[in-house]
């Protein structure tokens, strides 16, 4: 899979993955990433418009670290994804702290 090869070469800080895609869906992508020794520690966050019962549990069981629902709220997006990054990579101070 070309996407996995690209991940191995670039080693991103995080992967955002839609759940509904043509071909391999997000759950299959999560399985492939978590099954790859060199990629399994990269934070993996699902982005989805699915809000049906059981989706959150399925996302967690599939190896995602969490999920963000669509539509994306621009002002909330950075804080939403930063919670899945190591503190050393975060731009915003932790909640409750001041500058």
Residue 19: inside a domain, yes or no? yes
Residue 95: inside a domain, yes or no? no
> Domain with 31 in it: what CATH number?
3.40.50.2300
Q: Is the predicted pLDDT of residue 51 greater than 90, yes or no?
A: no
Q: How many domains does the chain have?
A: 1
Instruction: Quote the pTM value.
Output: 0.84
Pairwise pLDDT comparison (54 vs 37), residue with the higher score: 37
Residue 46: inside a domain, yes or no? yes
Residue 55: inside a domain, yes or no? yes
Selection from 25, 22, 18 nearest residue 46 by Cα: 18
Residue 93: inside a domain, yes or no? no
Residue 96: inside a domain, yes or no? no
Domain that holds residue 57: 2-86
DSSP single-letter state for residue 73: -
Helix (H, G, I), strand (E, B) or coil at 18: strand
The CB-side HSE value for 60 (13 A sphere, CA atoms) comes to: 4
């Amino acid at each position: 899979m070309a996407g996995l090869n690209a991940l191995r070469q670039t080693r991103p800080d995080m992967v955002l993955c839609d759940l509904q895609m043509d071909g391999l869906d997000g759950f299959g992508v999560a399985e492939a990433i978590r099954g790859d020794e060199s990629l399994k520690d990269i934070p993996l966050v699902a982005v989805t418009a699915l809000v049906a019962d059981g989706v959150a549990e399925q996302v967690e069981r599939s190896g995602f670290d969490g999920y963000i629902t669509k539509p994306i709220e621009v002002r909330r997006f950075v804080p939403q994804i930063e919670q899945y990054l190591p503190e050393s990579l975060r731009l915003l101070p932790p909640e409750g702290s001041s500058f």
